[in-house]
């Protein structure tokens, strides 16, 4: 097997994520390549696309959502993602066991103990009546049907167990912190087409196109699916095989090209929850274990970051109309100038006016690291 260095893996990831150079591909084409954009907060996917696409505007993604070509719903790892509508129809059924597993967790199970799962889903769909309903209203109606239970948790379980699409009105730019205001529609009604499950092999190929070369555990960490080893073994003849820096076997599409490891990587600002950071079990190809603890201090938190020479070197935040840059260690004058230049370009896109550069980082509290 051909050995690959950590730098070669870094440049391969950046190239497939459109982070070595911005692309002229359309936003829909980029979303299809990336498979899905994590979207717990609606604004972050816009930033992720801005960092990847030449001349990207808010209206381009908003129009895709309004035209139902891109949808927002629970998907990979049971978290909210944006994905192309056609991909959602194929991937959601394949990933449904992951969402069902989350719905069986103690948080949901305590509240729904004694309820028949199929009946709960049927009740939820009956209350939605094939239309668009605020999540709060669905919770209220479910609580009326099941006195003594938390309707909000019941609504969350229904949303995990059956595909519901979020209304674009609560998933477009400017919707910071509007999770509670989300409205949902049954996927069949919203899309007007049935679900057509993809195969696990399809998903693995799509993953490698966006994140490869990678190992089986990486595919599982990204998707939430388990026991993919046998399926990968069955694909062995169609894949290219490498050896990673730690000796692990890595797989890739046979026709996938690898960029020159010596290719320079530009400064890039990534949004919170960007899958470039979350797409592998071993994330050291883009972020060190030490910095990972700073960026991911809790189970539900992944801070916005910036890349210098292809690796996470700090975090950033939008505070009012100021973008605050917080490097994790000193940067060279050249890297700092490039970072500030890229941030200046971002300012009008996020509605900012100023850049504040922190020459220090907060000491890491080990108790916060997961």
Do 155 and 39 reside in the same domain of the chain? yes
Please state the domain count of the chain.
2
φ, ψ for residue 71, nearest 5 deg: -130, 160
HEC string of the chain equals: CEECCHHHHHHHHHHHCCCCCCECCCHHHHHHHHCCEECCCCCHHHHHHHCCECCCCHHHHHHHHHCCCEEEEECHHHCEEEEEHHHHHHHHHHHHHHHHHHHCCHHHHHHHCCCCHHHHHHHHHHHHCCCCEEHHHHHHHHHHHCCCCCHHHHHHHHHHHCCEEECHHHCCCCCCCCHHHCEEEEHHHHHCCCCCCCCHHHHHHHHHHHHCCECHHHHHHHHCCCCCHHHHHHCHHHEEEEECCCCCEEEEECCCCCCCCCCCCCCEEECCCCHHHHCCCCCCCCCCHHHHHHHCCECCECCCEEEECCEEEEEEEEECCEEEEEECCCCCHHHHHHHHHHHHHHHHHHCCCEEEECCCCCCCCHHHCC
Do 173 and 311 reside in the same domain of the chain? no
Is 182 a member of any domain?
Answer: yes
**CB atoms near residue 80 (< 10 Å):** 23
Q: Say what the pLDDT of residue 360 is.
A: 56
Do 137 and 48 reside in the same domain of the chain? yes
What is the span of the domain harbouring residue 44? 2-191
Cβ-defined contacts of 8-12 (< 8 Å, 24+): 8/258, 8/261, 9/213, 9/244, 9/245, 9/250, 9/285, 10/261, 10/265, 10/285, 10/286, 10/310, 10/311, 11/258, 11/259, 11/260, 11/261, 11/263, 11/265, 11/310, 12/212, 12/213, 12/258, 12/259
Do 183 and 275 reside in the same domain of the chain? no
Is 262 a member of any domain?
Answer: no
Core vs surface per residue 11-23: b (16+ CB within 10 A) or e: bbbbbbbbbbebe
Is 69 a member of any domain?
Answer: yes
Burial of residue 137, with CB atoms counted within 10 A of its CB: 0-12 exposed, 13-18 middle, 19 or more buried: middle
Closest CA to 43 of 15, 22, 65: 65
Is 249 a member of any domain?
Answer: no
Is 198 a member of any domain?
Answer: no
Do 151 and 12 reside in the same domain of the chain? yes
Q: Say what the pLDDT of residue 363 is.
A: 45
**CA gap 297, 78 in Å, rounded:** 20
**CA gap 193, 132 in Å, rounded:** 17
Is 313 a member of any domain?
Answer: yes
Among the candidates 149, 174, 191, a domain finishes at: 191
**CA gap 48, 70 in Å, rounded:** 15
Do 185 and 318 reside in the same domain of the chain? no
Among the candidates 139, 157, 191, a domain finishes at: 191
Q: Say what the pLDDT of residue 240 is.
A: 97
Do 146 and 277 reside in the same domain of the chain? no
Do 279 and 130 reside in the same domain of the chain? no
Is 237 a member of any domain?
Answer: no
Do 283 and 166 reside in the same domain of the chain? no
**CA gap 195, 188 in Å, rounded:** 8
Query: Per-block average pLDDT, block size 10, for the chain (370 residues)?
Result: 96 98 98 96 95 98 97 96 98 98 97 96 95 95 96 98 93 67 94 96 98 98 96 97 96 97 97 96 96 88 96 96 95 95 97 86 43
Is 240 a member of any domain?
Answer: no
Do 296 and 176 reside in the same domain of the chain? no
Among the candidates 146, 169, 191, a domain finishes at: 191
Do 37 and 172 reside in the same domain of the chain? yes
**β-pair partners for 319:** 322
Do 182 and 279 reside in the same domain of the chain? no
Entry pTM? 0.93
């Amino acid at each position: 097997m051909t050995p690959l260095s950590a730098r070669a893996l870094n440049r391969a990831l950046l190239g497939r994520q459109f982070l070595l150079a911005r692309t002229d591909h359309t936003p829909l084409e980029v979303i299809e390549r990336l498979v899905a954009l994590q979207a717990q907060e609606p604004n972050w996917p816009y930033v992720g696309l801005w960092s990847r696409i030449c001349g990207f505007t808010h209206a381009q993604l908003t129009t895709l959502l309004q035209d139902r070509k891109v949808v927002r719903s629970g998907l990979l790892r049971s978290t909210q993602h944006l994905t192309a509508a056609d991909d959602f129809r194929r991937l959601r059924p394949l990933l449904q066991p992951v969402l069902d597993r989350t719905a069986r967790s103690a948080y949901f199970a305590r509240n729904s103990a004694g309820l028949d799962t199929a009946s709960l889903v049927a009740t939820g769909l009956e209350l939605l009546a094939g239309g668009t309903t605020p999540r709060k209203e669905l919770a209220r109606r479910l609580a009326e049907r099941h006195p003594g239970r938390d309707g909000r948790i019941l609504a969350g379980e229904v949303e995990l167990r059956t595909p519901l699409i979020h209304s674009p009105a609560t998933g477009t730019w400017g919707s910071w912190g509007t999770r509670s205001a989300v409205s949902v529609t049954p996927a069949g009604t919203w899309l007007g087409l049935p679900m057509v499950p993809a195969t696990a092999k399809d998903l693995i190929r799509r993953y490698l196109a966006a994140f490869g070369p990678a190992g089986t555990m990486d595919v599982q960490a990204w998707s939430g699916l388990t026991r993919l080893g046998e399926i990968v073994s069955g694909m062995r003849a169609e894949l290219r095989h490498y050896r990673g820096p730690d000796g692990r076997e890595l797989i890739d599409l046979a026709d996938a090209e690898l960029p020159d490891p010596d290719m320079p990587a530009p400064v890039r600002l990534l949004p919170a929850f960007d899958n470039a950071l979350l797409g592998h079990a071993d994330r050291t190809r883009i972020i060190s274990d030490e910095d990972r603890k700073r960026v991911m201090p809790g189970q539900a938190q992944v801070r916005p970051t910036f890349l210098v020479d292809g690796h996470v070197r700090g975090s950033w935040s939008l505070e009012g109309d100021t973008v605050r840059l917080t490097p994790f260690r000193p940067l060279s004058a050249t890297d700092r100038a490039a970072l500030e230049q890229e941030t200046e370009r971002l300012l009008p896109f996020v509605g900012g006016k100023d850049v504040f550069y922190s020459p220090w980082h907060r000491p890491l509290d080990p108790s916060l690291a997961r």
